[in-house]
């Protein structure tokens, strides 16, 4: 065990909170404060201008309390990805003393956790430069969102094959640089010509070499396909920002976001007329997401974002039996994501029940990413 860095008398209110998390929960769920914590921290209250002006919650919950509460929620939902401790390593409570252990809890355990922790810091900085009320003004000048789900459904009806979301991605942590001569607008136009129903645009810079500028440039170049904001969403602010750059849909990752955040973000997207693609990777995440009202589009990621392992069998497994039945009853459109390279792969996930696919690597690596679509599907799907 590492050396104890500090020990001091433990404040009695903190003991109470520790022993009785419900007290904290009750405080957080009073009517005036029923928003998810991250929303409260960003000062957003639905439909209220004062909130959009970025007012800080009157609850005055300390960062540390927020961290404690979040981690309890996250644990109860089986979410393995922890959020970055706002004040360094988490405290450990032993008797009446407070212990701070070095090197425990303050380093990410896997790549997804690392990305999310970095994202937390990045968003905090971006938000300072562009507070929500300025984004709200920018939204007045953005053309309305395009119908992402409608485009996928009609492509599926037209071709009898899964509707294609083609991904504009320069690099990834698992594969490194995928394409050196990367011109996002040309790639997007080639995808559209090749028959893509929608496009997915990576905006993360550090790990995927993407940008919001790419998204905006594609939108402004006259591409008609609806655009997915492919980002690690940790706060509602990012959704508004993405919309201001022309995004029509956003990705919400169930292994990162607690249910309450997903629900709240879906509501925001509905207000902004955007679609949400809620991504899952295992049964538990699928069951959580199926219990959330208003989910219309679910992505099954065949790639484990913690280990990078890819297995198309994940899509099949998550669509079998009662889950598949419920998905049909609810008329949810399912997207098979990652690791699709051949017409056989497409047939495999279609057989499993998907009506759309999300493909990056196998298209972006080809010299003509538009023509690559015909090879992937085994025929021309452009008309
Ligand atoms: O390049 P691939 O294996 O075809 O995968 C595309 C897409 O599914 C993948 O980029 C992806 C799916 N979910 C994500 C979440 C974050 C970043 C990336 C992703």
pLDDT, position 98: 56
Q: What is the number of the ligand 1 atom nearest to the C-alpha of 169?
A: 10
Pocket of ligand 1 (CB under 6 A): 167, 169, 279, 301, 337-340, 358-362
Which of 303, 307, 364 gets mutated to test ligand 1 (max ligand atoms within 8 A of its CB)? 303
pLDDT, position 31: 32
Which of 205, 255, 314, 358 gets mutated to test ligand 1 (max ligand atoms within 8 A of its CB)? 358
Q: Which residue has the higher pLDDT, 234 or 26?
A: 234
* pLDDT at residue 100 tops 80: no
pLDDT tens-digit map of 310-365:
999 999 999 999 999 999 999 999 999 999 999 999 999 999 999 999 999 999 99
Q: Which residue has the higher pLDDT, 312 or 383?
A: 312
pLDDT, position 1: 36
362 contacts 167 by C-beta, under 8 angstroms: no
pLDDT, position 81: 78
In Å, how far are 80, 127, 351, 357, 382 from 162, measured between CA atoms? Answer: 31, 37, 10, 6, 13
Which of 210, 255, 308, 337 gets mutated to test ligand 1 (max ligand atoms within 8 A of its CB)? 337
The region of weakest confidence among 98-102, 147-151, 220-224, 269-273 is 98-102
Q: What is the number of the ligand 1 atom nearest to the C-alpha of 208?
A: 17
| pLDDT mean over 276-304 | 98
- Residue indicated by tokens 């008609």: 224
Q: What is the number of the ligand 1 atom nearest to the C-alpha of 362?
A: 4
Protein residue with its CA nearest to atom 3 in ligand 1: 338
In Å, how far are 100, 349, 370 from 345, measured between CA atoms? Answer: 50, 6, 18
What number is the ipTM of this complex? 0.99
pLDDT tens-digit map of 243-269:
999 999 999 999 999 999 999 999 999
Q: What is the number of the ligand 1 atom nearest to the C-alpha of 339?
A: 3
**What three-state secondary structure class fits 335?**
strand
| pLDDT mean over 158-164 | 98
Angle of the 236-244 helix axis to the 259-271 helix axis, nearest 10: 30
* pLDDT at residue 52 tops 60: no
The region of weakest confidence among 74-83, 228-237, 276-285 is 74-83
Q: What is the number of the ligand 1 atom nearest to the C-alpha of 359?
A: 4
pLDDT tens-digit map of 370-382:
999 999 999 999 9
Protein residue with its CA nearest to atom 13 in ligand 1: 301
Q: What is the number of the ligand 1 atom nearest to the C-alpha of 361?
A: 1
Q: How far is the CA of 360 from the centre of ligand 1 (A)?
A: 7
33 contacts 57 by C-beta, under 8 angstroms: yes
pLDDT band at 297 (very low <50, low <70, confident <90, very high): very high
Protein residue with its CA nearest to atom 18 in ligand 1: 230
* pLDDT at residue 128 tops 50: yes
The runs of H, that is alpha helices, within the chain are: 12-19, 21-28, 37-41, 49-52, 63-76, 111-129, 132-139, 148-159, 184-194, 212-220, 236-244, 259-271, 283-290, 313-319, 321-329, 343-352, 361-364, 369-377
* pLDDT at residue 13 tops 70: no
| pLDDT mean over 219-241 | 98
**DSSP string for residues in 128-141:** HHS-HHHHHHHHTT
The region of weakest confidence among 65-74, 79-88, 152-161, 178-187 is 65-74
* pLDDT at residue 54 tops 70: no
Confidence (pTM):
0.81
Q: How far is the CA of 328 from the centre of ligand 1 (A)?
A: 24
Residue % of the chain over a pLDDT of 70: 76
């Amino acid at each position: 065990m590492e050396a104890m860095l500090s020990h001091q008398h433990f404040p009695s209110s903190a003991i109470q909170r520790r022993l009785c998390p419900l007290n904290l929960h009750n405080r957080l769920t009073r009517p005036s404060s029923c928003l998810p914590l991250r929303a409260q921290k960003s000062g957003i209250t639905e439909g209220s201008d004062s909130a959009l002006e970025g007012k800080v919650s009157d609850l005055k919950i300390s960062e540390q309390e927020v961290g404690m509460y979040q981690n309890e929620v996250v644990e109860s939902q089986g979410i393995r990805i922890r959020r970055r401790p706002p004040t360094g390593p988490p405290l450990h409570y032993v008797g009446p003393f407070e212990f701070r252990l070095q090197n425990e809890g303050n380093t990410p355990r896997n790549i997804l956790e690392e990305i999310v922790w970095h994202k937390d810091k990045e968003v905090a900085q971006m938000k300072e430069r562009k507070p929500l009320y300025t984004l709200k003004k920018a939204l007045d000048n953005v053309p309305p969102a395009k119908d992402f789900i409608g485009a996928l459904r009609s492509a599926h009806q037209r071709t009898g094959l899964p509707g294609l979301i083609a991904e504009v991605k320069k690099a990834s942590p698992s594969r490194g640089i995928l394409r050196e001569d990367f011109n996002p607008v040309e790639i997007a136009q080639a995808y559209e010509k090749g028959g893509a129903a929608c496009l997915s645009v990576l905006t993360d810079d550090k790990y995927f070499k993407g940008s919001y500028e790419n998204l905006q440039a594609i939108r402004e170049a006259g591409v008609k396909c609806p655009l997915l904001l492919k980002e690690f969403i940790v706060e509602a602010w990012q959704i508004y920002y993405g919309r201001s750059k022309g995004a029509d849909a956003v990705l919400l990752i169930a292994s990162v976001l607690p249910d309450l955040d997903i629900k709240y973000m879906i509501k925001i997207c509905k207000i902004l007329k955007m679609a949400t693609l809620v991504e899952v990777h295992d049964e538990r995440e699928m069951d959580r997401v199926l219990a959330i009202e208003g989910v219309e589009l679910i992505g099954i990621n065949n790639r484990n974002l913690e280990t990078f392992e890819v297995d198309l069998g994940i899509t099949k497994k998550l669509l079998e039996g009662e889950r598949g039945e419920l998905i049909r009853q609810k008329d949810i459109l399912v997207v098979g994501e990652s690791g699709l390279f051949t017409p056989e792969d497409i047939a495999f996930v279609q057989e499993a029940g998907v009506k759309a696919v999300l493909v990056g690597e196998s298209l972006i690596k080809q010299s003509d990413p538009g023509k690559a679509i015909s090879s992937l599907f085994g025929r021309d799907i452009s008309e």
